[in-house]
Amino acid sequence: MAKRPGTAVPDMAAADMDRACADPAGADRAGRDRAGPDPANGGWAATTASVGRAVVRELSGAWRHRSRSAEEAALRQCSFLIDASMVLGTSLDPQRIVEMTAALAVPRLGSAAIVWLRGEGNSVPIAASSFLDPKAAGFVRAAFQIRPATVDQDIPPGSVVRTGQSYYVPKYTEKIVGKLFAREAYDRFWEFPSGPTITVPIHSRGRVLGALTVDRAGLEPFSAFDIHLVEELARRGGAALDNAQLFRDVEESALTLQRSLLPAHPPALDGMEIALEYRPGTAGTEVGGDLYDVIPLPGGRAGIAIGDVMGRGLHAAAVMGQLRAALRAYALEDWGPAELLARLDRVVDSLPGLQLATSMYAVYDPYSGRATIASAGHPPPLLLLPDEQPDYLVLEPGLPLGTGEADAFSETTITLPPGSALVLFTDGLVESRRRSLADGLEHLRSGLGEQVTRPRAARDLASSNGASSNGAGSNEAASNGAADNEAADTGAAADVLPADSVAGASVAGASVAGAVAGGTGASGAAASGADANGADADGTPVGGPATTAPASAVLPERRIRERRSGRDRRGGYRRSRTAGDRRRAGSFAARSWSGPDAVTWDGPGPIEETARTVLERCLLAAELPARTDDDIALLVLVTRPVRPPLIQLALPAVAASAGQARTSVRAALHDAGISSLDDAILLVSEVVTNAVLHARSDLVLRATLEPGRLRISVEDREGSALPRPGDESTDQIDAEHGWGLLLVEALAQAWGVETTPDGKRVWFEMEIPDEA
């Protein structure tokens, strides 16, 4: 039976029937496809081309996807290595670099990382590690302390350090674990998950410095791409480590040079206390051209010097060493300050290259109390006189050393009564990028003035309150007695602190322990100095909120004692949390002093405070920033009373003065219980006679007893020509004059001739016999 077109139903499956009902047009297309190619649309050739294009599209998409994946992986690799290079380049500390190398590998490359560095001999100890599992970290460190790795062992770290080739362990076997760990650790190793491990060399400039081990506990194996990434990280770590080791070697050489050039400690001299401090800048190798020195001179005098060579680094330190050697040599020849600087100027001018330096030199005589100072372009010294505000000494500034200008230096003589202080410093103490030299000088002067004034005001207030307290005031004081005693008990431990805790701490415009709780209000300055940790500026605990101070409250004595004495070389200083780290660990600083080692904060100034206290006050008043670009050299001289001379006699320039001098010295020695120094009496006669003949001015005879010796000097006020032994008797054997100084040279233990501001001084020393 013929069927009408359009009524016949194609032979389709049930699913096709459903689709046909839902989409008749789609059913028609499916039927045509099953019926074969349509000649009108190109036939089989068109179908083949369509299929080919579809295959090409699929292949192209897959290739583009793989290409994008590879590009993204490469970008991630480059980004990781760039970040690693930036992180490793932030430090010059070798230990910090190996720690960062291990930390960068976890968890980016694996679950654990160990850095091995070649040590002494054949050892390959663990230098740093990073683990996701803390227990595994402790186990590995303990295990390799029991059996350290060595180069000659056939284990991953030893083999890599020995051969310089990577070592891949896809899975830990009993044989490998037995080689790695001792018997005590072998069984416990299997308690921790393990996986594939790669160990790659850490090398630089053709040398294998160590190895980097990365482990993937329970993770997928390392691909070639992963191994390449670990090797690149180790290569960057090796470059950073080698650079840090080179810097450390240079720094150690520079610091060794710096330590050798700085005086170990100042001499202990009668009539003065001296405190010294050197702080390197925080940039570069921490070595510069700042110098200070204290030179004992004849007659109990002292030459004090400070200087600053322009520039930084080893070159500046080398120039500083030459300058200090020349300065000490000229000082021991007893040249005056101006002449000494003129000679130093010629020395600096003769050095190769353009060298400039500033310097200041002073000679202090504790017996006369006079100091003669000359400057070569150096910042002026700060002078603290008893009961006066600190101020800078007015000097002719002079030109820096190295300019070659003749007669560029002049001297200034001042009198320093007992209890005075002379502070010499380099510009690093007062000048920085954020503060000009003029502002820094004023800041130091005003800050030190406030610190000196505050204890005076505190004592005046305390004495006035104590004198005016009566009646009800006394009862009030009695009612508060228990609280005062309790406060004293709780604060006793805080009254004695290590000096390091306050050395150089920056406290804005206030003394560390000079804050006063005055009147009947809140504790005022002490409360304002409290930090977030509940301690005031001097480290004393603040017990709760501010309380009312009793009217009769008197500041307890704060005496901070150093358990060391004399020499004090430290790798750094403890700082409060708000002060920040001033230098990285291991930096070099030097402090030394002569005299008492106590740091007393309650005195009105140098008259009742040690040289160390004045030094600490200067550091506090300067308010040094957390990072200093320049070195700091600081020298503090505090004058003290000296024992009065055994005899001090003014004599006229007449022949009879020699006999009067002999009689007076003999009587003074007899009163002192010394009767066996006949040679001293003879030399007194010769020296006085020599002064009468040549000086023709009034004389001053002075005899002083020093430990183990007698010192006698004759000073005149005319002429600056220094006599020499035998000037008038060299060519005349029977000459009547010119033998006096020859006798002095033959009989005295030591002798010399010194220039004074208005003349000269001839002196000699005699040893006092033990039976005297």
User: What is the rounded distance in angstroms from the CA atom of residue 109 to the CA atom of residue 305?
Assistant: 59
Domains and CATH numbers, the chain: 84-252 (3.30.450.40), 262-453+562-639 (3.60.40.10), 647-767 (3.30.565.10)
**What are 728-768's pLDDT values in tens digits?**
544 544 445 556 778 888 888 888 887 776 778 888 888 88
pLDDT of residue 481: 41
Question: Is the pLDDT confidence value at 336 over 50?
Answer: yes
Q: In the block, which residue shows the tokens 């007992």?
A: 418
Mean pLDDT of 633-646: 89
Residue 708 main-chain phi, psi, to 5 deg: 80, 5
What confidence category does residue 355 fall into, taking pLDDT thresholds of 50, 70 and 90? confident
Predicted model pTM: 0.59
Predicted local confidence at residue 721, as pLDDT: 55
Q: Average pLDDT over the chain, rounded to whole?
A: 74
The backbone torsions φ and ψ at residue 99, rounded to the nearest 5 degrees and listed phi first, read: -65, -40
Residue 608 confidence (pLDDT): 74
ω into residue 641 within 30 of 0, thus cis? no
pLDDT grade for 471, boundaries at 50, 70 and 90: very low
Task: Please spell the DSSP secondary structure of 177-205, one letter per residue.
Answer: HHHHS-HHHHHHHTTS----EEEEEEEET
Q: Which residues contact 43 (CB under 8 A, 6 or more apart)?
A: 37
Residue 327: per-residue pLDDT: 93
**Residue 589: CA count within 13 A, CB half-sphere:** 24
pLDDT over 80 (residue 654): yes
Distance CA 287, CA 584 (A): 14
CA dist list (Å): 147 to 144, 179, 180, 186: 5, 10, 8, 11
What is the mean predicted confidence (pLDDT) over 385-397? Answer: 91
Complete DSSP assignment for 5-63? TTTPPP---HHHHHHHHH-HHHHHHHHHHHH---GGGTHHHHHHHHHHHHHHHHHHHHH
Q: How far apart are CA 647 and CA 662, in angstroms?
A: 12
Q: Element (H or E) spanning 320, and its range?
A: helix 314-332
- The residue among 494 and 239 whose pLDDT is bigger is 239
**In angstroms, what is the C-alpha Rg of the chain?**
43
CB-neighbour burial class of residue 338 (10 A; exposed 0-12, middle 13-18, buried 19+)? buried
**Interval 267-293 mean pLDDT:** 80
pLDDT at 739: 64
- Between the ranges 323-337, 399-413, 485-499, 561-575, where is the mean pLDDT highest? 323-337
- How far is C-alpha 756 from the geometric centre of its chain's CA atoms? 40
What is the DSSP track for 211-228?
EEEEE-TTSPPPPHHHHH
Taking 90 as the threshold, does the pLDDT of residue 159 lie above it? yes
- Mean pLDDT over 374-394 rounds to 93
Kindly state the tokens that stand for 507: 């406290």
Gap between the Cα atoms of 363 and 704, Å rounded:
19
- Calpha distance 465→459 (Å, rounded): 10
- Choose between 502 and 441: higher pLDDT: 441
Q: What does DSSP say about strands 567-570 and 589-594: parallel, antiparallel, or unpaired?
A: antiparallel
Give the model's pLDDT for residue 570.
Answer: 31
pLDDT value of position 460? 59
pLDDT for 464 equals 58
What are the tokens at 233?
């990280």
Report the share of the chain in percent with pLDDT over 90.
Answer: 27
The token duo for 374 is 């000359």
Q: Tell me the sheet residues that pair with 593.
A: 275
List pLDDT tens digits, range 166-183.
999 998 888 888 888 887
Span of 308-317, 371-380, 698-707, 716-725 with lowest mean pLDDT: 716-725
pLDDT in tens, 38-47: 545 556 676 7
The 8-class DSSP code of residue 262 comes to S
Task: Please give the C-alpha separations between residue 494 and each of 418, 513, 536, 702, 721, in angstroms, as whole numbers.
Answer: 32, 11, 11, 49, 60
Q: Is the pLDDT of residue 451 over 90?
A: no
Range name among 392-406, 496-510, 622-636 with the lowest pLDDT average: 496-510
Token pair recorded at residue 658: 């020699």
* Closest CA relative to residue 755, chosen from 726, 708, 723: 723
Which burial class, exposed, middle or buried, applies to 445 when counting CB atoms under 10 A from its CB (0-12, 13-18, 19+)? middle
Give pLDDT tens digits for 65-121. Answer: 666 766 776 777 788 888 999 999 899 899 999 999 999 999 889 999 999 999 888
Please name the amino acid found at residue 119. Answer: G
> Quick check: 343 pLDDT over 80?
yes
Contacts with 201 (C-beta within 8 Å, 6 or more apart), sequence order: 160, 161, 164, 165, 166, 208, 210, 211, 212, 234, 238
Closest residue by Cα to residue 543 from 617, 486, 480: 486
CA separation (Å) from 534 to 544, 592, 690? 8, 33, 72
Say how far apart CA 690 and CA 723 lie, in whole Å. 10
